C-alpha cells in the first residue's frame, strides 16, 4: 500500500531551480541558478518531528498533514457502531 506523498517547499524549490537551470539559454542565468542550487545544498536539513498521537516521525509539514493511524482506526470503528 503506498502512502500519498506531497513535496515539501524545499523539494519544490530544488525541482524548480534544476529545471530552470536545465532550460535556460543564458550563461549568466545558468551561473546564478547554479549558485542558488549550491546555496540550497548548503542549507541545514529540516529537523524531523514526531506525531504526539501515533509516534510517526517525518518532516514537520508531512506530520502536520498525515492522518494518524489511531485517528483512522477510531473513525473506522465509529462507523461500525
Q: How far apart (Å, rounded) are the C-alpha atoms in residues 26 and 46?
A: 32
Confidence of residue 72 (pLDDT cuts 50, 70, 90): low
17 lies in some domain: yes
14 lies in some domain: yes
Between these two residues, 7 and 38, which has the higher pLDDT value? 38
Residues 52 and 80 reside in one and the same domain: yes
Which string of DSSP letters, residue by residue, matches 37-79? HHHHHHSPPPPPEE-TTT--EE-HHHHHHS--HHHHHHHHHHH
Q: Print the domain residue range for 60.
A: 47-81
pLDDT at site 35: 95
Q: What does pTM read for this prediction?
A: 0.53
Residues 74 and 60 reside in one and the same domain: yes
pLDDT at site 8: 77
2 lies in some domain: no
What's the pLDDT tens digit per position in 16-66?
999 999 999 999 999 999 999 999 888 877 788 888 888 888 888 888 888
Amino acid at each position: 500500500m503506498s502512502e500519498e506523498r506531497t513535496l515539501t517547499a524545499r523539494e519544490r524549490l530544488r525541482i524548480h531551480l534544476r529545471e530552470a537551470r536545465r532550460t535556460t539559454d543564458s550563461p549568466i542565468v545558468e551561473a546564478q541558478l547554479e549558485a542558488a542550487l549550491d546555496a540550497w545544498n548548503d542549507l541545514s536539513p529540516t529537523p524531523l518531528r514526531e506525531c504526539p498521537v501515533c509516534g510517526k516521525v517525518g518532516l514537520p509539514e508531512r506530520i502536520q498533514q498525515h492522518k494518524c493511524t489511531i485517528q483512522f482506526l477510531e473513525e473506522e470503528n465509529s462507523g461500525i457502531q
